[in-house]
Amino acid sequence: LPHKASAERLGPFVESGVRAIDISADYRLKDLRQYEEWYGEHPHPSHVEDAVYGLPELHRDEVAGARLVANPGCYPTPSILALAPVMAAGLIASDIIVDAKSGVSGAGRSVDVKFLFTEVNESVRAYGVGAHRHMPEIAQELGRLNGNGAAPLSVTFLPHLIPMTRGILASCYAKFRAGESFSGENGQGRLMDLYRDFFADHPFVHVADEPPSTKQTLGNNDCRIYPTVDRSTGRLVAVGCIDNLVKGAAGQAVQNMNIMFGMPEQLGLEELALYP
């Protein structure tokens, strides 16, 4: 269903006691004004406050008891996870840049000349330049991690369409706060330890020893992350990689469902059939 369509139908079900997972954007943003800026008038706003943002690696306990879970967007999932450990530790200044690439399936199945084979093949195109609706979602969740409540941070987000069917690679850049540094001989090791400790209890996140590729997450519910520090600038560079149709959509919804009903988190997600 398109955005806004599910909210019109979900409201009565949730009010009658049915637990639900919404894969649209209708319940992701806590600030209704932001939702209306990017999506228009909300069709059923009464459950916005109660909905839990369904990124299990950040909100597993809340998901377990939720009546309504808002499944995260595809781009926000690797972007938020790639920055979560350093944001939660209070190590990052507010100015963040996310440069992301996605396969064509991320655009859905609508008929559009921009997504024809002849337009996409052997071409890379930036879109939503300066105004993409996933930006406030990324800013909201990183702001909450950083201790700012739901107050958005300064996030520049630029997505690109690339000639492959599925997959997202998000390259995230951020400045460390004054006095914080992971440069030097032991810096990379300390940074990796920070990330691995943060995700130690989360089976679908893998902190890699080298930058990930979309082939590694093809058809699975994993998010592979590689953090490092740019030697010349001292800036954090964190790369997050997922399959946009699995961890970025249906797989994450199944993961949330498993948590909601007390089932093993990995149930049904270890052997997946691919389409497309």
User: pLDDT tens digit string along 170-201?
Assistant: 999 999 998 888 887 799 999 999 999 999 99
Domain boundaries, the chain: 5-72+248-260, 76-247
CA 9 to chain centre: 25
Rounded CA separation 271/276 (Å): 16
Strands, DSSP E only, in 23-71?
A: 52-53, 68-70
Tell me the Cα Rg of the chain: 18
Residue 247: exposed, middle, or buried by beta-carbon count in 10 A (0-12, 13-18, 19+)?
buried
| Contact indicator for 168, 63 with CB cutoff of 8 Å | no
Encode pLDDT of 3-34 as tens digits.
778 888 888 888 899 999 999 999 999 999 99
What pLDDT, on the 0 to 100 scale, is given for residue 148?
57
Active site (annotated) includes residue 172: no
Q: Residue 2, preceding bond cis, omega within 30 degrees?
A: no
Catalytic residue among 74, 172, 223, 241: 74
Give the pTM.
0.94
What pLDDT, on the 0 to 100 scale, is given for residue 1?
65
- Phi first, then psi, for residue 241 (nearest 5°) are -140, 130
CATH number of 5-72+248-260: 3.40.50.720
What pLDDT, on the 0 to 100 scale, is given for residue 151?
47
| Arithmetic mean of pLDDT, 260-268 | 98
CATH class of the 76-247 domain in this structure: alpha beta
What pLDDT, on the 0 to 100 scale, is given for residue 6?
82
Which percentage of the chain shows pLDDT scores above 90?
78
Encode pLDDT of 127-180 as tens digits.
999 899 999 999 999 999 987 544 458 999 999 999 999 999 999 999 999 888
What pLDDT, on the 0 to 100 scale, is given for residue 185?
78
Rounded CA separation 170/226 (Å): 11
